[in-house]
Structure 1
Amino acid sequence: MTESRPPLPPFTRATAIQKVRAAEDGWNNRDPHKVSLAYTVDSQWRNRHEFPKGRAEIVEFLTRKWTKEKEYRLIKELWAYEGNRIAVRFAYEWHDDAGQWFRSYGNENWEFDENGLMQKRYASINDLPIAESERKFHWPQGRRPDDHPGLSDLGL
């Protein structure tokens, strides 16, 4: 049985937005095993200085990430799409063990196989230390509520 993760390419604006929101929702739930199922078994990533390959390494990477990044909350926004590719920009807020808050900004380029699984993910990310009072992402841990502003609405 072939794995499938709709919507499938080629993407329209509507299906690309749907795909971006599904990715955001998955990452906000912070379940490394569940998130890894959105990727091909041999998916290739570049995330900062790490290059995970395949679902097992993706699970290891995400487990380390979410152990370090406490109270993680993410917003993704569609930037561009064509065929089986989507580009997004994103920001997420988190704090470290010492209680220092950060807002991490970045861009991702995604490439999908014909079944809607992501086969390539290239991410560039920068971290900005912020005061807790500067936080903008205040929903309860998990999925961002539909009525919470997105990146453009927040001026990010």
Structure 2
Amino acid sequence: MRAVVQVVTEASVTVDGESGPVGSILGPGLCVLVGVTHQDTPEQARALARKLWSVRLLDGEKSCSDLGAPLLVISQFTLYGDARKGRRPTWSAAAPGEVAEPLVDAVVAELRALGATVATGRFGADMKVSLVNDGPMTLLLEV
């Protein structure tokens, strides 16, 4: 599993032109884009959630668990895109929806079990993400 993690002061996601966001947070917090590949497992989803909850990226080297900071978690199959050849990326390394969706849901469920406040987008939907990156601070995590 792969995640792009951004420290934010606020973040929101709207879906398919619906009025208002389907998920939003006010920071400090993390906006997390999660990608799933074919070999990923539920244990990796739990490990990613634990890492997101405890990684010390926030002000004063604090974690979300230290501050009770919220997370916005959004599925992002394009994190497994490959554009090394030609001009058109391939998405073959990204897991199909029936594999990826339960694993992204497992990340969210584990975060909530750990005590996190988690907002989400909607799997497979046309989403528009807005955020204010604080720092800016962006990190790539892989488990």
TM-score, normalisation: structure 2: 0.30
Tell me: higher relative CO, structure 1 or 2? Use CA pairs within 8 A at least 6 residues apart.
2
